[in-house]
Amino acid sequence: MASNKKYWKSEAELNPNDSIVETLKQNEFVQEIPVDEFLGDKETLASSSTNRRDFLKYVGFSTAAASLAACEGPVIKTIPYVVQPENIIPGVANYYATTIANGFDFASVLVKTREGRPIKIENNTDAKVMGSANARVHASVLSLYDSTRLQGPTTNGEGVSWKTLDVDVKAKLSALKDSGKQIALLTQTYASPSTSRLIAEFSEANGNVNHVVYDAISEDAALNAFEAKYGERALADYDFEKADVIVSFGADFLSDWQGGGYDSGYAKGRVPKHGKMSRHIQIEANMSLTGANADKRIPLIPSQQKIALAKLFGKLNNSNVGGAVSESVDKALDAIVKEIGKAGSRAVVVTGLDDENAQAVVLAINEMLRSEAYDTAAPKYIRKGNVKAVNALIADMKAGKVGALITDGVNPMYSLPNAADFAEGIKNVELSVVFSSNKNETTEVAQYVAAASHYLESWGDAQLKKGHYSLMQPTIKELFDTRQFQSALLQWMGSDKSYYDYIKETWSADILGESEWNKTLHDGVFVGAMPSIDALTETVVEEEGTEVSAITSISSAVSSLANTSSAGMELTLYSKVGMGDGQQASNPWLQEFPDPITRVSWDNYVTISKADALALGFVNENVANGGLDGSYAKMTVNGVVLENVPVIIQPGQAKGSLGLSFGYGKEVGMKKEMQNGVNAFALYQGFSNTQAVTIEKSAGMHEFACVQLHKTLMGRGDIIKETTLEVFNTKDHSEWNPVPQVSLNHNEVPATSVDLWDSFDRSIGHHFNLSIDLNACTGCGACVIACHAENNVPVVGKEEIRKSRDMHWLRIDRYYSSEDTFEEDDIKKDNFDGLSGDKGSLSGFAELEDPSENPQVAFQPVMCQHCNHAPCETVCPVAATSHGRQGQNHMAYNRCVGTRYCANNCPYKVRRFNWFLYNNNDEFDYNMNNDLGKMVINPDVVVRSRGVMEKCSFCIQATQAVILQAKREGRVVANGEFNDAVACSAACSSGAMRFGDVNEEGSVISELVKDERAYHLLEHVGTKPNVVYQVKVRNTNEA
């Protein structure tokens, strides 16, 4: 029975003549479908002879052809060497000791090569000094395979042969010899005895050579202060292991302060031994890695830090020093003085303030304390930059006094605050040669661009610290037509020596003494004879002569520090752990490396305190698509404006201060994906890391790629267990490291005693465990990059990171406390009562989400926990993930069908899904998309395809290799062999991560898992992980 009812769709239908109604009747779609967009314009469509049936035929045929073709295996070629090098066995890795000395990072390292390709950097444990690689050094192997590298020398943008370049340069240099104009060498810090000798010889040969050392991020103040006091342009060395009390005024010594490399010594002092650990007080403006690790952190703007430092000096000397600090700071200073007094020579004070007076005062304090951690007899040579000389050179260039400018390892057009002056100056220079591995801002303005070799392709040497020498050797032949600066200098001097011979000559003459060259080259490091006693007394005599003037200069330094005035906002410029001075900005591993503090990757940003953000209207918000957005700011320093700087609200940032990191905002010669952030060097006026700045809001919101949106621990004290040294020393571990309780038959029982599953007997064979000491972990992130390199972890790019699709197998979670300490968070949560009200959990939890003004910070590296009762294994429908007897949770990629059940069932959220094919895919134009970048791939680990799950494997390829080697040699596995094979534990120079076999008698790990501090993450879940954490102990003892 049909209905005659008519349903009106709109009022317009009442009018029968309405044209719209008529059209709608004929057309299903209101809007025209944009067929043309994907089919092309009508004409081409009409002219095409393919009709629908033909199309279907094509589809059918090509599908059939493709599937048939897929059945046939491809022909794979295998090409042996014609003459196989004696030391290369295909499939067996070779290790070479070398040294990175790129002007910013200095370290003695081991390079793992496979079939002649360097594929990984490892720590050189033989090195007594700077033998550990940080995140950037670990990533430097990828910079070798950077597809944007310069492949040969150029002049005015066109390729040129080295021969022509040599002829031209030589001709110009000899012409300049008599012109009276100077030949300027503007270089990085080399700390190289051979290069020093070479430059001296070059000067002699060419006359009027002016060698200017330029550090992009200057340590000029510290160098000047040290030079004034000790007569040598160097940096004092510190051994934080020997300090019981560490007081730092804005020194981020766990990352790049004065060249870095202090974290392993620091970490050793932080592990409670016999009831003792060091106490670390950090006074700083930005929340730095060092501040995050401190026992007590006092946020203070830089000008106040200076006054506080002056006051500390005064208090230590019982003299009155002017200047005003707040009462609380004054009190804190009193406490610090007490603690220092108690520790005596076991105390050390450091500062990162770019102020000669501050540096001088610190040196004076350490000298006064006779600090054991303070070493001036063998200072460090890894920073030599001279601001005065750089400025003088630019002035000379502008005045036309410079005939030739040769630069190496520096990018002044990018990193100079007054780059415009440099650009103007270089126009007046008759010959400019720029050595650079990549096209950059400076190569753009140079006449000749000399393609420089990577350090893994070069010979070199370094004296990192007085008496501590290192050698650099090539681990691969130059990939391109490149040359290192030193070889070029030799060539231009008319010498036919190779730089290798030159180094050998220098070493056998001045350094080696009786020692053998080959052995030294093998070891990579050499400890020379320490300066003779004569030389020492000489300097002492010198000191006595200047003592009086030193005292007066110190008192004037203190008073000028005390008189520091401040106006408006104060900006502290810093270098990020992942980017440093920006030399490796085109390195995708480093771009994707999340900053340990903000957990933001692919960006730099200005950090601001919450109070200031509120006052100025800056916001950070998590938006619907799961990303973090932040306001833009306009920053002005002394008339220099930086537009569109993204803002991050940083807990712990001192009120009235801002922070901005160097290294970003590079554009020239970079792939589009790599051009991120703003160039902070523009604000680096007068090479001072503190600047008076004005900041205002600009329109728009910035999209961050932040991997951790949740900032606080929400009072979940069982995730990061913490205690104080006092409790740790006095109470039983069941109090500060309690086993979680669960209810069984209405009785509270320890969670470890309840088990849904039958346990396997794991006492036979190897059983791997990883211990992570939260006390020793500084959050430096070296393990993250080492893991990337070892396991072929893909780079996914900013967009994907923003969607939380990061692929890091190992992440370092960073948590802030919501109250002043984590303990107070726990108490607050435990005291929740009801849903609403003062103690209501609804509002209470909301409050707990907010980090405190000056929070406690904790780092926790999390990777697959390799649970013995793994929740992921039980839900996999295809048994792609399964458990091995050795304790490893296996992942058979080719079995995985990508249901992602495992990731959803993992309580630790450590499984990573390949949403896309990240190799050979133009959408992800990073290292795995070009042949060069693929050379870094570890051949022992599969490159995963799209649609499969992956995760930390406990480096099973490495543990298996160790076992196999032992089998081949017919011996048991030696102590520590596993630890040194696994990427993260081998990279961890602080000793926070220890890997090994718990069934091996007397192994470090078997002790660690039984330690009183040991606990498992989310123990109450009953997953029985094979990763153990060690309770974090804070030294809150105030003197």
Partner 1 sequence: MKKVLDRNQIFRNLGINLVVFLLFFSASLFAQDVPSDGDPINGKKLFNQNCAACHSLDRKMTGPVLANVESRLAEDEGLDREWLYTWIKNSPGMIKSGDAYANKIYEEYSKAAMTPFPTFSNADIDDILAYTAATPAVPVVVNGGPGPGGEVQPSGLSNELILGALVLVFGLLVVMLFLVNKTLKSIVSANGVVLEKEKRLPIWKAFAKNQFLVLVTSILLLLTSAYFAYGWMMQIGVDQGYAPVQPIHFSHKVHAGDNKIECKYCHSSARVSKTSGVPSLNVCMNCHKSIYQYQGNPEGPTREDLANGYTNDFYTAEIKKLYEAVGWDEENQKYTGETKAVEWVRVHNLPDFAYFNHSQHVTVAGIDCQTCHGPVEEMDIVEQYAPLTMGWCISCHRETNVKVEGNEYYAKIHAELSKKYGVEQLTAAQMGGMECGKCHY
Q: Which two tokens stand for residue 417?
A: 């605050």
State which residue, 11 or 758, has the beta carbon closest to partner 1.
Answer: 758
Which stretches of the chain bind partner 1, using CB under 8 A? 71, 73, 75-84, 89-92, 761, 763-765, 880, 882, 884-886, 888, 890-895, 940-943, 953, 956-957, 960, 963-964, 966-968, 970-973
> From CA 913, how far away is CA 805, in angstroms rounded?
7
Min. distance of Cβ 891 from partner 1 in angstroms? 7
Min. distance of Cβ 67 from partner 1 in angstroms? 11
- Radius of gyration over every alpha carbon of the chain, rounded to an integer in angstroms: 31
Min. distance of Cβ 475 from partner 1 in angstroms? 19
State which residue, 295 or 950, has the beta carbon closest to partner 1.
Answer: 950
Q: First-to-last CA distance in the chain?
A: 95
Min. distance of Cβ 83 from partner 1 in angstroms? 4
> From CA 730, how far away is CA 272, in angstroms rounded?
13
Query: E-assigned strands of 755-867?
Result: 768-773, 811-816, 857-862
> From CA 213, how far away is CA 193, in angstroms rounded?
14
Q: Name residue, tokens 């890695």.
A: 289
State which residue, 75 or 624, has the beta carbon closest to partner 1.
Answer: 75
Min. distance of Cβ 881 from partner 1 in angstroms? 8
Is 969 strand, coil or helix? Answer: helix
State which residue, 75 or 567, has the beta carbon closest to partner 1.
Answer: 75
Pairing of strands 620-622, 628-637: antiparallel
Min. distance of Cβ 895 from partner 1 in angstroms? 7
Buried residues in 907-935 as b, exposed as e (16+ CB within 10 A)? ebebbbbbebbbbeeeebbbbbbeeebbb
Min. distance of Cβ 1025 from partner 1 in angstroms? 17
Min. distance of Cβ 941 from partner 1 in angstroms? 6
Min. distance of Cβ 75 from partner 1 in angstroms? 6
Min. distance of Cβ 449 from partner 1 in angstroms? 33
State which residue, 256 or 997, has the beta carbon closest to partner 1.
Answer: 997
State which residue, 127 or 876, has the beta carbon closest to partner 1.
Answer: 876
CA 894 to each of CA 67, 70, 144, 898: distance values in angstroms, whole numbers, following the listed order: 20, 17, 31, 10
State which residue, 198 or 891, has the beta carbon closest to partner 1.
Answer: 891
State which residue, 469 or 809, has the beta carbon closest to partner 1.
Answer: 809
State which residue, 30 or 75, has the beta carbon closest to partner 1.
Answer: 75
Min. distance of Cβ 74 from partner 1 in angstroms? 9
Is 1007 strand, coil or helix? Answer: helix
State which residue, 231 or 765, has the beta carbon closest to partner 1.
Answer: 765
Q: Name residue, tokens 């753009």.
A: 444
The candidate with the shortest Cα–Cα distance to 281, out of 236, 333, 331, is 333
Q: At what angle do helices 193-206 and 499-506 cross, to 10 degrees?
A: 110
Min. distance of Cβ 1002 from partner 1 in angstroms? 14
> From CA 616, how far away is CA 618, in angstroms rounded?
6
State which residue, 224 or 882, has the beta carbon closest to partner 1.
Answer: 882
Read off the DSSP letter of residue 244.
S
- The alpha helices in 296-405, defined as continuous H runs, are 302-316, 327-343, 356-369, 387-398
> From CA 500, how far away is CA 182, in angstroms rounded?
28
> From CA 770, how far away is CA 777, in angstroms rounded?
14
A 10 A CB-CB count for 60 gives 10
A 10 A CB-CB count for 696 gives 11
Min. distance of Cβ 954 from partner 1 in angstroms? 9
State which residue, 727 or 942, has the beta carbon closest to partner 1.
Answer: 942
Is 974 strand, coil or helix? Answer: coil
Read off the DSSP letter of residue 582.
S
**Residue 997, φ and ψ in degrees, nearest 5:** -100, 115
The candidate with the shortest Cα–Cα distance to 529, out of 513, 506, 507, 505, is 513
Show the CA angle centred on residue 340, arms to residues 337 and 344, nearest 5°: 140
State which residue, 738 or 884, has the beta carbon closest to partner 1.
Answer: 884
> From CA 327, how far away is CA 331, in angstroms rounded?
6
